[in-house]
């Protein structure tokens, strides 16, 4: 797979543009996003929407320069069974779907999560100093936030360390980018902790559930729908993670520290 970044116009505003993504030259989605580092965004979107479950299902991802109203064109090649599933979900061949902030949450697309031992993830998240340090490091490494502001920030933690930081004007695409980064690095999803700067919406929780990650953590709070989604699929979620009394939402539906 090959990737690239779209050229950004000079200015002091948060970078946002329309990006066209085609799958097997037949189905198109349009993202409103920060038009940089689009390869992990594309992979993460496919995984977090529940369309892709193994690397073999994605044959190629290539980022091309944009044309007309689009900052870039991402060409994705999927294997035939996966493409048929995507095509059906998005309205059939030749369909064009503009991705909105309010993403649908079809519960039947959540993976079946086996009973897992989340002890290691629990222990790390219960260490408030460690979590606070992740967030400090995340914001220190957030170059767009520092330069222009107006963007959401996300961090990928695994094994007790902050692995990488992503930024996007869309908080939903922050989750996509984190999932794609973990996927491309070959990380075990259940060991991955996603950090986000924004409120956790139901759609964000659904994306994390479909990706099978271990936890979704925010300096803000989850919505009621996000909490319901997390309980339903077994996702650890933490709100107000930088406060002295974080809100812990464990898979067994126990809440502590609120």
Q: For residue 191, give the DSSP letter.
A: G
The answer on 80 and 192 residing in a single domain is: no
Show pLDDT as tens, one digit a residue, over the chain (258 residues). Answer: 444 444 445 568 999 999 999 999 999 999 999 999 999 999 999 999 989 999 999 999 999 999 889 999 999 999 999 999 888 888 766 555 555 433 455 555 565 555 455 778 888 998 999 999 999 999 999 999 999 999 999 999 999 999 999 999 999 999 999 999 999 999 999 899 999 999 999 999 999 999 999 999 999 999 999 998 888 888 999 999 988 889 999 875 443 333
pTM: 0.88
81 lies in the same domain as 135: no
Burial of 123 (0-12, 13-18, 19+ CB in 10 A): exposed
H runs (alpha helix) in the chain: 38-48, 80-89, 119-126, 128-140, 143-147, 171-184, 202-211, 224-233
Same domain, 132 and 192: yes
* 129 and 68 in a common domain: no
**One domain, residues 243 and 143:** yes
Q: Mark whether 123 and 89 lie in a shared domain.
A: no
Q: 231 and 170: one domain?
A: yes
Q: Is 113 inside a domain boundary?
A: no
Q: Are residues 229 and 173 in the same domain?
A: yes
Burial of 104 (0-12, 13-18, 19+ CB in 10 A): exposed
The CATH number of whichever domain residue 23 belongs to comes to 3.10.20.10
Domain that includes residue 72, residue range: 17-99
Q: Confirm if 147 and 171 have CB atoms less than 8 A apart.
A: no
- Kindly report the backbone phi and psi dihedral angles of residue 251, in degrees, each rounded to the nearest multiple of 5, phi listed first: -60, -25
Counted domains in the chain: 2
């Amino acid at each position: 797979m090959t990737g690239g970044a779209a050229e950004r116009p000079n200015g002091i505003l948060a970078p946002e543009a329309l990006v066209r993504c085609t799958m097997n030259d037949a189905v198109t989605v349009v993202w409103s996003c920060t038009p940089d580092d689009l390869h992990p965004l594309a992979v993460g979107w496919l995984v977090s929407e529940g369309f892709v479950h193994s690397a073999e299902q994605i044959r190629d991802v290539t980022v091309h320069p944009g044309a007309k109203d689009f900052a870039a064109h991402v060409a994705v090649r999927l294997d035939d069974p996966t493409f048929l599933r995507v095509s059906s979900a998005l309205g059939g061949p030749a369909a064009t779907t503009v991705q909105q902030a309010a993403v649908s949450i079809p519960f039947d697309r959540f993976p079946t999560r086996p009973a897992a031992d989340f002890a290691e993830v629990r222990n790390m998240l219960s260490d408030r100093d460690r979590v606070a340090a992740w967030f400090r490091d995340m914001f220190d490494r957030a170059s767009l936030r520092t330069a222009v502001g107006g963007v959401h920030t996300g961090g990928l933690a695994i094994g007790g360390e902050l692995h990488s930081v992503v930024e996007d004007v869309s908080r939903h695409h922050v989750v996509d980018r984190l999932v794609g980064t973990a996927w491309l690095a070959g990380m075990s999803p259940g060991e991955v902790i996603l950090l986000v700067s924004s409120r956790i919406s139901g759609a964000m929780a659904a994306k994390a559930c479909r990706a099978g990650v271990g936890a979704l953590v925010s300096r803000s709070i989850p919505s009621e729908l996000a909490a319901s989604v997390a309980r339903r699929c077994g996702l650890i979620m933490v709100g107000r993670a930088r406060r002295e009394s974080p809100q812990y939402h464990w898979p067994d539906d126990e809440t502590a520290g609120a």
